[in-house]
Structure 1
Amino acid sequence: MEERTRRRDLRAPQIILFLLLFIHFGVAQNATRTRVDEFPVGVILDLQTLVGKIARTSILMALDDFYSVHKNYSTKIVLHIRDAKSDNVQAASEALDLLENHNVQIIVGPQKSSQASFVSDLGNRSQVPVISFTATNPSLYSASLPYFIRATLNDSAQVQSIACLIKAYGWRRVVPIYEDTDYGRGIIPYLIDALEEIDTRVPYRSVIPLSATSEEISQELYKLMTMQTRVFIVHMSSTLAASIFSKAKEVGMMSKGFVWIMTNGITNIIDSMNTSVVEAMNGALGIQFYVNKSELDRFTIGWNRRFQIDNPNEPPLKLSIFGLWGYDTIWAVAEAVEKVGVKNRTLFKKPSVATNSASLEIMETSVFGPELLKVILKNKFRGKSGYFDLSDRQLQVSTFRIINVFGKGWNNIGFWNEESGILQQLNLGKSKTKYASSVSGLNLVTWPGNSTETPKGWEIPGSGKKLQVGVHKSAYKEYMTNERDPITGAIKASGFSIDIFEEAVKRLPYALPYEYVAFDTSRDTSSGTYDDFVREVSLKKYDVAIGDITIRYSRMAYVDFTVPYTESGVAMIVPAKGSANKTWIFLQPLSRDLWLATILMFVYTGSIVWLLELLGNKKDVREPIPRKIGIMIFFSLFGDSYTANLATMLTVEQLKPTINSIDELRKSGVNVGYRNGSFVRNLLEDLNFNTSKIKAYDTPDDFYSALSKGSKNGGIAAFVHEVPYIKLFLAKHCKEYTMVGPFYKTAGLGYAFPKGSPLLGDMSKAILNITEGNTIMQIEKKWIGYQNDCKSADSAVSYVSDPEKLSIDNFKGLFILNGIASTSSLIIAVIIYLYEKNKSMIKMQPDQNGDGLEEINKPQEQSEGSTTEENNQSEPGTGQSGQQQEETEGNEIGNRNIQTRSVKRSGSIFLWRERNTKVAPISSSSRF
């Protein structure tokens, strides 16, 4: 028994050992059956940055979540995470290490656009896809970088939403503030183009280096404060943005009247920024990629727990859209690796030419890279960030949220998408216009300084200089003149143009402090041209140039003009002829040719009337209706025109010019004058005037003296000037000179502002308000007025051209009509006369066959005693002689003025009457 027991005790350990060996063998076999192929993937991030920390946690969490869902997958990616330390060279070095030493087939990252530019070039050479979910520089999207994939939005995708927002609020000038990197500069060309489409200018660009110190940032902000523009677009990394807004609050730029708009690079991670920085941003607007956060609540809880595990010594951060894009990128990569498969395949191909050179041209190329690229671009799914589609090598524009930073967080004020523009809610109907015309579709905004009043976007700096208003001495002091105060040294200006400007400033909806700055004050009269004066505005010497400045297309190339405040046009001042002798003025309405043609027509018409009377034997002569109509039309129109032209000549004879047109002036070869410094000289040269005949004069007295001398005596025959000045000149000299024209159109006089000036629109509205009311008439009466015997300047310039004498061409149609009517009447009368004469001759011929027709006219005088040969025969068988019977019948026919014909046919004779159908039969045996 003891032996048996001892053997059993010895056998127990053997059984246990056998069981352990069996279990181990089974586990080993199972491990062999479920073995997965590892696939190296590199990750390059700036791990010390806010975005880098968020992205790292998202990537690691995505890897665990993916393979816990897909436990049966035969591949598994292995991440090799590297820190670029916010340095471009370091990022490139890490990429080379991953390619050469770890044979990575995909590189996720790098984080910055400047880093991605070089790393993506390495990816092209090695045919390894580079997928960045943070590099947003538009220049990276290029056909020359086919292996670069952007798993985020292009920065240019948001410029339309920014432009839409600016247009909705009506801001006309903005200043972009951006960092001096590829990321910062990349968006600027697209932003400028979008702003130009809505007619918004960019007068200045503020570029901030990454290495800028606190003092350098303060100096730049003070510089911005001295400018008029108060709308700023901030595009930079979150670290630099924190410094900018903190300093802006410190210097007073986060107060009432300022507008700050942040791009989505800042706004997308605003939840993870320091509370003090967010409070410094209060009042700013921001563009943020829209994600439906109600679907992410559960995921966010898990992400926060994972972040604390990965970063036990870091303060808690909030998940951002960059974390979601990083999460979805790892899922897209893992899915592509599984579809491609990696069994029994080498990772890289050696170069065809072996060499020891370390040159990039001989880098090994990935075996899986091209196929992986195709699979990734085809893979589309609903991820944590939304619809994840990289088919175009970058995510497509979706919906942006417009936020307003308030307190320690932000408020939602609206949305924007490409189809609908600005919306208060996403379920609103689509708009037909791309840009919103107002802010009615947005929620209430709390602006900087805790103000609810929408900033106008610009203002005169309180601590800076006043608006510099350039003034120019005019040849006409009534329009503008200036002088320096001997005590204060300030420039004082007066005149018609000054009164209009000052009245317009009073009507602006805000206070506008200004001071006058004289142009060319070293001379008594400015000899500098108005083109030079206007150009000073574009050179920023003046904020506005006012005075009698003509609005011209060539000047609008470098300045903008307000609406004109005077009438327009260029005309001539010429001497007026004296009063002519009125004794023979009644002959002047018609030209010599017309007088001759009229006399000939009268003679011709009289001859026609005489011939008609002659052909009609002066009996019952009536004028044909066509000729009556022709004569009636001819004499009615002819008479009216003569009377009207004579009345005009009697009225305007005092204003008759010596020269009637600009063409006549040019052909005459006489001297012509213009005001010195005016654009009129160029106009005259363009009209082919002899340059030696063009003379410049400075003052109206000079004009008057030259016109008085005349061209033959060294003066001028005409003075070419603008209509507003001509009115002023003729208000004093209306009895000696008159105006011919205008022959050239201009836009009138206006004020010149710099391109894109925010003052332009308000000033134009104020000027329109003045010119459409009674104020302009009062100012005109004050400065222009009417002197001497000129009741109105308008009466002196009412002449446009001398009334021409009526010529034969004016009545050619009437002459033709009257001639046709008269000639037609004569032709018709001659035809009738010849026809009647021919008919009478035929009737007088004898009837050879005895069976013809004989017409008998029995007028009343014939029945009283005259008879024919047949009347003398009596009718047999009657008691009355043939003569008596015929006389009786003849009397009856004569009284009725009836023609009777006798017809002899078939032995019977019939009588009928042309005007009476009654027929009297006569027996066949009777005869005349």
Structure 2
Amino acid sequence: MTELQVATARNNGAGKIPIGVVLDLDSRVGKERLRCINMALSDFYSYYGGHYRTRLDLRIKDSKNDVIGAAAAALDLVKNEHVQAIIGPGNLMQENFIIDLGKKSRVPIISFATTPLTSRRSPYLFRATQSHSSQIKAIAAIVHAFGWREVVPIFVDNESAEGIIPYLSDALEEVDALEEVDARIPHWSIIPPGATDEEVKGELYNLKKLQTTVFIVHMDPTLGSKVFDIAKEIGMMSEGYVWIITDKMTNLWSLVDHFDTDSMQGVLAIRNYVPKSNEFDNFKVRWKAKLDIFGLWAYDATFALAKAVEKLGTKNFSFDVSNVSGSARTDLESFGVSQNGPELIRALSSIRFKGLSSEEFSLVNGQLESSVLRIVNVNENFERGIGFWTSKSGLVKRLDFENVTRNSASKANLGTIIWPGDPQSVPEGWKTQTLKIGVPVKNGFIEFVEAPNDTSPNSIVSPKGYCIAVFNATMKTIKYNVTYNFYAFKMPDGEKTGYYDHLVYQVAYGKYDAVVGDISIRAERSLYVDFTLPFMESGVVIVVPIKDDENKNAWVFLKPLTCDLWVASGCFFVFIGFVIWVLEHRINGDFRGPPSHHVGTSLWFSFSTMVFAHRERVVSNSARFVVVIWCFVVLILTQSYTASLASLLTVQQLQPSVTDLNELVRKGENVAYQDGTFVQGIVQKFFDPSKIKTFKSVEDLDELFTKGSAKGGIAAAFDEIPYMNLFLEKYPDKYTTIEPTFKTEGFGFVFPKGSPLGAEVSRAILRLSEGDTIKNLEERYLPKRTRCLDSRTSNSSKSLGLESFWGLFLITGVAAILALIIFAAEFLYEQREVLRASGISIWKRILQLIRNFDLKDLTSHAF
């Protein structure tokens, strides 16, 4: 075990703490950072006036702008100099090699890389710069403010782009939880780091062919200046174009000799905001040269490190080298571990002060927070501030840290912008061009779309119809200034299958910019193109002829009631007649006489209640009670019977010839679908190809139905609801629909995948649907639909069953039985002497009671 080695020295009472510095000393940026580091230490110790307890002892190494050189320098500092922290390096690649070294040796690394810190790969890594991810949010807010739907990034293929590109797509999709940018990236433009003028020109010519005119440039000033010079040369700095540059260019403008902005007129730029302060003004006076944000970050980072070390006090900063073996095979294994690393990173994380580069310098989660960015507009030979972006308020024209507003992405919060070419209006971000719109040429159902059938394929036409009118109405409301021509689409002669599929796929092939017509939204089609929101609902229905049945059946009068209801009604007529006879026989002369008269009178009385023609008097109150309830039941039965019979005799003619799809399949009937539509796929799932025919118009369909399946026609047709509405409107008394109905998404317009114009048209359809425009167009171009396509409304009324009347029968039965019980109780009470008689058998008593029942009750008021 080697004893603990202590790297602590004393000078004028202050402990010297070894601190490593790894910078590219041959570059202007590296030299500037080193000068700022020295000035920061001088200012820090001057601030304490000699009362400091520690002093940073810089051990400076040149990375030579090389990854291996930076790694070797850092290893030397840790192994031989026993430094307690390392300031640098300046880029991501060098940082990646040093980060593990800092983690193993527990030496904090204060890096100047500007790529986003995606994860805390090491607690010992600190970024003393603001991440590029913050300015991406600012750029997204600008894109959202002006409503641009597409942007094209132009970047250099290096580690800087790899750090920023993953954030760009996400930021363009959303500014915050409330406001979506709704922009997309149709193309990524990658330029090699050492690209020649010809390579840059070739790439820009490719970009000029795009419809998108909004570009985001992320590269260093030298290459960026070349890009803008060539862009101006080929006409891409003219009216209609938008250029946004990141702080990678703006932060280094001051370090490029003779940097010319003449070719960048109208460019929007994002740069880090440096707040005004007396300290910053004094610093600039002492600096006496051009200054950029990287130097200020180095100044503040060094000041923070000195404060953190001073916060730990005079406590020894030591290195434990006890685990270093003399037999180490490589230098990478032979370095010690800092004993104060954990305490130093905690101290660094807690440091907060007003720095030169920001209102508050603090390393939150190892990263310098970016709270304010400045948005500038390049004009003449200077940059003009037009607003700010803050993480809390979004786009603002003026900074107000006391009154923080809601996160905003409004162009009203920016000052006046001079765009490329000096236009007076905001560029649309979309190159105005004449779109090629494909429309189907068809023989039938021209109410939806009608293009001249005698035109040659791909010729410009002037179509009419409902779909065309809806499309024209939506295009008038969108923000893009788009012109378009309609082109007739025809299939090769003799080829009909998949007509609409072929038409839709022309957009995917690039032949058309869009397709307009009665195009159904289908899942398989959406794999290759984008559909707008549906402007008309739809679904596939089955249409069949109506039976020629005029109900000449002699027994049709029995159909209103089911068999069980007929039986129950007959039984109750007999039962009620019996009950009335029992209740009236002893006291009513109308119900007396020979046995045949008893039976006839009882049945006559009961059945005559159907027409309320009974003439016999009812004397007893019990019988009257039963008759009143029974007459109420008979009234309901007769009225229901009359209504059902009338319905059968009138509505029965709308009975479909086939009741459902299964019956069609079982009987092997011929069926048809509209030629060229996707309905073919549905029909082929159920029927043999030999049973399937096609039609093109309502007249064709009617002709097929007229022939009938047995004579080469059809028994049913499959098609979408809008078409069948037209067919049933023309032949309302001949056809109807049956179940099932196949659900579809409706009609929509077709655009290329990811087209911003498609999204804009969808929003326009929503706006028109919320008003009366779509409804008015439908009433104008399509016949009024007077017929419901629900097959249940075309079927005849069902026969009435016992289940609808059992409650009434129950009430009648209970009343009748109750009356019989009361009568029996009273009669038996009157005949109690017979029941008590002794010496007589039960059978003789019963016979005596029957004889007494048949006698008149002379005590009744009726006699």
TM-score (norm 2): 0.78
CA offsets 1:203-231 (integer angstroms, 9 cap, x no match): 21122222122332233223222222233
Q: Is the 8 Å Cα contact of residues 574 and 658 (structure 1) preserved in structure 2? A: yes
Aligned to 1:185: 162
Structure 1 CA distance, aligned partners of 2:625 and 2:388?
Answer: 83
Aligned to 1:235: 218
CA offsets 1:146-191 (integer angstroms, 9 cap, x no match): 4321122333344444334433333322222222112112222222
Q: Secondary structure at the match of 1:145?
A: coil
Match of 1:300, as an amino acid? F
Match of 2:656, as an amino acid? P
Match of 2:655, as an amino acid? K
RMSD: 4.3
- Among 823, 833, 858, the alignment partner of 1:833 is 823
- Among 304, 317, 328, the alignment partner of 1:332 is 304
Match of 1:230, as an amino acid? T
Moved more, 54-63 or 550-559: 550-559
- Among 535, 559, 564, the alignment partner of 2:529 is 559
TM-aligned CA deviation for residue 84 of structure 1: 4.6
Aligned to 2:673: 674
Q: Secondary structure at the match of 2:226?
A: helix
Structure 2 CA distance, aligned partners of 1:663 and 1:374?
Answer: 77
Structure 2 CA distance, aligned partners of 1:702 and 1:386?
Answer: 79
Structure 2 CA distance, aligned partners of 1:242 and 1:481?
Answer: 54
- Among 86, 104, 119, the alignment partner of 1:107 is 86
1:58 aligns with 2:15: no
Give the direction of change, closer, same or farther, for the CA distance of 1:833–1:777 in structure 2 (3 Å limit).
same
Aligned to 2:4: none
Match of 1:564, as an amino acid? P
TM-aligned CA deviation for residue 534 of structure 1: 3.3
Aligned to 2:518: 548
1:578 aligns with 2:577: no
TM-aligned CA deviation for residue 729 of structure 1: 4.0
Match of 2:223, as an amino acid? L
| Identity within the alignment, % | 36
TM-aligned CA deviation for residue 41 of structure 1: 2.1
User: How do 1:60-139 residues align onto structure 2 when only pairs under 5 Å count?
Assistant: 60-70=38-48, 71-82=50-61, 84=63, 86-96=65-75, 98-99=77-78, 104-133=83-112, 135-138=113-116
Give the direction of change, closer, same or farther, for the CA distance of 1:228–1:819 in structure 2 (3 Å limit).
same
1:718 aligns with 2:701: no
Match of 2:132, as an amino acid? D
1:697 aligns with 2:680: no
Give the direction of change, closer, same or farther, for the CA distance of 1:520–1:650 in structure 2 (3 Å limit).
same
User: How do 1:430-445 residues align onto structure 2 when only pairs under 5 Å count?
Assistant: 436=409, 438-445=410-417
Q: Is the 8 Å Cα contact of residues 36 and 298 (structure 2) preserved in structure 1? A: yes
Structure 2 CA distance, aligned partners of 1:491 and 1:326?
Answer: 65
TM-aligned CA deviation for residue 482 of structure 1: 6.3
TM-aligned CA deviation for residue 124 of structure 1: 3.4
1:373 aligns with 2:345: yes
Structure 2 CA distance, aligned partners of 1:769 and 1:398?
Answer: 38
Aligned to 1:802: 794
Structure 1 CA distance, aligned partners of 2:495 and 2:408?
Answer: 50
Give the direction of change, closer, same or farther, for the CA distance of 1:708–1:753 in structure 2 (3 Å limit).
same
Give the direction of change, closer, same or farther, for the CA distance of 1:105–1:827 in structure 2 (3 Å limit).
same
**Structure 2 portions without partners, runs of 5+:** 1-9, 175-179, 589-617, 837-858
Structure 2 CA distance, aligned partners of 1:822 and 1:171?
Answer: 78
User: How do 1:135-534 residues align onto structure 2 when only pairs under 5 Å count?
Assistant: 135-138=113-116, 140-197=117-174, 198=180, 199-268=182-251, 277-278=260-261, 280-293=263-276, 295=277, 298-308=278-288, 316-320=289-293, 322-339=294-311, 349=321, 352-355=324-327, 357-358=329-330, 360-363=332-335, 365-366=337-338, 369-384=341-356, 385-425=358-398, 426-427=400-401, 436=409, 438-461=410-433, 466-474=434-442, 476=444, 478=446, 479-480=448-449, 490-492=459-461, 494=463, 496=465, 497-498=467-468, 500-502=470-472, 504-505=474-475, 511-516=481-486, 521-528=491-498, 530-531=500-501, 533-534=503-504
Structure 2 CA distance, aligned partners of 1:86 and 1:253?
Answer: 35
Q: Secondary structure at the match of 2:171?
A: helix
Q: Secondary structure at the match of 1:388?
A: coil
Query: Radius of gyration: which is bigger?
Result: 1
Q: Secondary structure at the match of 2:204?
A: helix
Structure 2 CA distance, aligned partners of 1:795 and 1:345?
Answer: 92
Give the direction of change, closer, same or farther, for the CA distance of 1:411–1:87 in structure 2 (3 Å limit).
same
Structure 1 CA distance, aligned partners of 2:384 and 2:817?
Answer: 100
Moved more, 632-641 or 104-113: 632-641
Structure 1 CA distance, aligned partners of 2:101 and 2:627?
Answer: 102
CA offsets 1:657-699 (integer angstroms, 9 cap, x no match): 21233454455554443345543354457xx735668736363
Q: Is the 8 Å Cα contact of residues 531 and 749 (structure 2) preserved in structure 1? A: yes
Match of 1:760, as an amino acid? G
Q: Secondary structure at the match of 1:386?
A: coil
Q: Is the 8 Å Cα contact of residues 303 and 319 (structure 1) preserved in structure 2? A: no
Q: Secondary structure at the match of 1:580?
A: coil
Q: Secondary structure at the match of 1:192?
A: helix
Q: Is the 8 Å Cα contact of residues 481 and 495 (structure 1) preserved in structure 2? A: yes
Match of 1:468, as an amino acid? K
Q: Is the 8 Å Cα contact of residues 473 and 526 (structure 1) preserved in structure 2? A: no
Structure 2 CA distance, aligned partners of 1:409 and 1:634?
Answer: 101
TM-aligned CA deviation for residue 726 of structure 1: 2.0
Q: Secondary structure at the match of 2:353?
A: strand
Q: Is the 8 Å Cα contact of residues 549 and 652 (structure 2) preserved in structure 1? A: no
What is the aligned residue count? 786
TM-aligned CA deviation for residue 392 of structure 1: 1.5
Structure 1 CA distance, aligned partners of 2:258 and 2:639?
Answer: 95
TM-aligned CA deviation for residue 391 of structure 1: 4.8
**Structure 1 portions without partners, runs of 5+:** 1-30, 309-315, 786-791, 847-893, 898-928
Higher relative contact order (CA 8 A, sep 6+): 2
Aligned to 2:742: 744
TM-aligned CA deviation for residue 751 of structure 1: 0.7
User: How do 1:579-728 residues align onto structure 2 when only pairs under 5 Å count?
Assistant: 579-581=549-551, 588-614=559-585, 617=588, 618-619=618-619, 621=621, 628=628, 632=632, 635-636=635-636, 639=639, 642-643=642-643, 646-647=646-647, 650-651=650-651, 653=653, 655-666=654-665, 668=667, 670-675=669-674, 678-683=677-682, 689=686, 695=692, 697=694, 699-700=696-697, 707-708=705-706, 710-712=708-710, 716-728=714-726
Q: Is the 8 Å Cα contact of residues 457 and 488 (structure 2) preserved in structure 1? A: no
Structure 2 CA distance, aligned partners of 1:714 and 1:332?
Answer: 93
TM-score (norm 1): 0.73
Q: Is the 8 Å Cα contact of residues 47 and 56 (structure 1) preserved in structure 2? A: no
TM-aligned CA deviation for residue 62 of structure 1: 0.7
Structure 1 CA distance, aligned partners of 2:367 and 2:335?
Answer: 27
Structure 2 CA distance, aligned partners of 1:763 and 1:665?
Answer: 42
Q: Is the 8 Å Cα contact of residues 737 and 789 (structure 2) preserved in structure 1? A: yes
Structure 1 CA distance, aligned partners of 2:576 and 2:253?
Answer: 102
Structure 1 CA distance, aligned partners of 2:497 and 2:20?
Answer: 76
Q: Secondary structure at the match of 1:200?
A: coil
